[in-house]
């Protein structure tokens, strides 16, 4: 079976990428992921807030004793490899240590720093850049047009200064995600990662404090990716990476049938180890053999909105079907 595919203009040996996470910060784990069959790695996201916090903490440590004793001023030497430098060094080391493509990931606050950090990330020799628009809007006065225009401007400015392909990682919370994705594609996005898994705060009612639980994906969380991959397939020049809830071979095959070019996996590796990639690829190959498919392109997008005979499958038809068969569902899932 030929499991190869293309993403961001890069030929990949198969459609399973390792998504951005702390998994790839350990070189031993990276080697296991590569050996298990991962076709590419997205390095953990460089967050501007993290850089600012690390820089401030380091500055405090370096100057903690400045005004106490003159002999102790140099107790903490000037550290050159901290904050963004440490990230860049680790990213470059990873790129030089593996034979598969490596993609950097970036999330910033200010327009100028998006461009600045995009340039330095590109200089590490990575094969591509994923700009992660992870952001929760808290200003009720901002219009959808302002938010989207800012995002498009960031993309265009980054594309002007880097020569490597650029993908855009989005949340689904846009007024019309399809229209916005189309505009980003027209303005140079080489691929889209659908969708960002937002970490939501929880409240400890006894301590009356916020908690940030680290929740892994669960079975069925890929359905939003399936819907949008199916709606977008055949309408974009850019590639589509399905993200969130791709836990096994069935999930992988499902997003490919919908129209995704690749799938990014993280949670299933945390749960099952690097060998889960091998298992998923085996399941994909076995399914292709049984179906008589020789390449990914033979079936990719076969169940997309543009190629099926059920025009409402991706729209209200699912709800109508549920209502029409409500008695069947009641028998299958009785209350009480």
Q: H or E element: which one contains 7?
A: strand 5-7
The predicted pLDDT at position 94 comes to 95
Q: For the chain, how many residues are written?
A: 336
Instruction: Give which of 194, 111, 108 is closest to 153, Cα–Cα.
Output: 111
Residue 49 CA from chain centroid, whole number: 19
Taking the CA atoms of residue 284, residue 252, residue 34 and residue 131 in that order, the dihedral angle to the nearest 10 degrees is 150
CATH architecture of 5-310: Alpha-Beta Barrel (3.20)
Long-range pairs for 212-216: beta carbons < 8 A, 24 or more residues apart: 216/267, 216/270, 216/271
Task: Measure the CA angle with vertex 29, ends 8 and 197; round to 5°.
Answer: 55
Q: Give CA–CA dist 296/192, Å, rounded.
A: 19
Collapse the DSSP code of 166 into the 3-class scheme (helix H, G, I; strand E, B; otherwise coil) and give the result.
Answer: strand
Which DSSP category does 107 fall into? E
pLDDT digit of tens for each residue in the chain (336 aa)?
Answer: 899 999 999 999 999 999 999 999 999 999 999 999 999 999 999 987 666 554 444 444 444 444 444 444 444 344 344 457 888 999 999 999 999 999 999 999 888 889 999 999 999 999 999 999 976 777 788 898 998 999 999 999 999 999 999 999 999 889 899 999 999 999 999 999 999 877 677 888 888 888 876 778 889 999 999 999 999 999 999 999 999 999 999 999 999 999 999 999 999 999 999 999 999 999 999 999 999 999 999 999 999 998 988 767 777 655 555 555 656 655 665 655
Query: What is the reported pLDDT for 200?
Result: 72
Q: What are the residue ranges spanned by the domains of the chain?
A: 5-310
Closest by CA to 228, choosing from 182, 187, 166, 280, is 182
Is the CB of residue 125 less than 8 Å from the CB of residue 90? no
For tokens 């049984």, the residue is: 290
Q: Is 273 helix (H, G, I), strand (E, B) or coil?
A: coil
Q: How far is CA 269 from CA 4, 69, 86, 206, 274, in A?
A: 21, 51, 25, 33, 6
């Amino acid at each position: 079976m030929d499991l190869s595919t293309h993403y961001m203009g890069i030929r990949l040996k198969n459609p399973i990428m390792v998504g951005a996470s702390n998994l790839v910060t350990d070189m031993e784990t990276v080697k296991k992921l590569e050996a298990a069959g991962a076709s590419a790695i997205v390095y953990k996201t460089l967050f501007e807030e993290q850089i600012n916090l690390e820089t401030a903490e380091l500055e405090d440590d370096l100057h903690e004793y400045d005004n106490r004793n003159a002999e102790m001023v140099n107790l903490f030497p000037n550290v050159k490899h901290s904050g963004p430098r440490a990230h860049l060094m680790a990213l470059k080391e990873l790129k030089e240590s593996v034979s598969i493509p490596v993609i950097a990931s970036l999330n910033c606050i200010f327009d100028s720093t998006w461009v600045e950090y995009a340039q330095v990330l590109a200089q590490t020799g990575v094969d591509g850049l994923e700009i992660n628009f992870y952001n929760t809007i808290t200003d009720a006065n901002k219009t959808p047009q302002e938010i989207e225009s800012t995002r498009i401007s960031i993309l265009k400015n980054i594309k002007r200064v880097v020569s490597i392909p650029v993908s855009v990682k989005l949340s689904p919370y846009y007024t019309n995600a399809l229209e916005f994705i189309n505009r980003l594609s027209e303005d140079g996005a080489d691929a889209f990662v659908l969708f960002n898994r937002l970490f939501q705060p929880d409240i400890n009612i006894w301590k009356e404090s916020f908690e940030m639980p680290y929740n892994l994906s669960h079975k069925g969380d890929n359905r939003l990716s399936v819907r949008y991959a199916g709606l977008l397939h055949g309408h974009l020049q850019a590639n589509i990476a399905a993200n969130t809830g791709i836990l096994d071979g069935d999930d992988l095959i499902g997003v490919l049938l919908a129209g995704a070019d690749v799938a990014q996996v993280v949670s299933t590796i945390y749960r099952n180890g690097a060998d889960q990639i091998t298992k998923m690829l085996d399941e994909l190959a076995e399914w292709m053999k049984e179906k008589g498919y020789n390449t990914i392109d033979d079936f990719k997008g076969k169940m997309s909105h543009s190629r099926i005979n059920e025009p409402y499958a991706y729209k209200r038809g699912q709800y109508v079907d549920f209502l029409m068969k409500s008695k069947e569902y009641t028998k299958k899932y009785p209350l009480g």
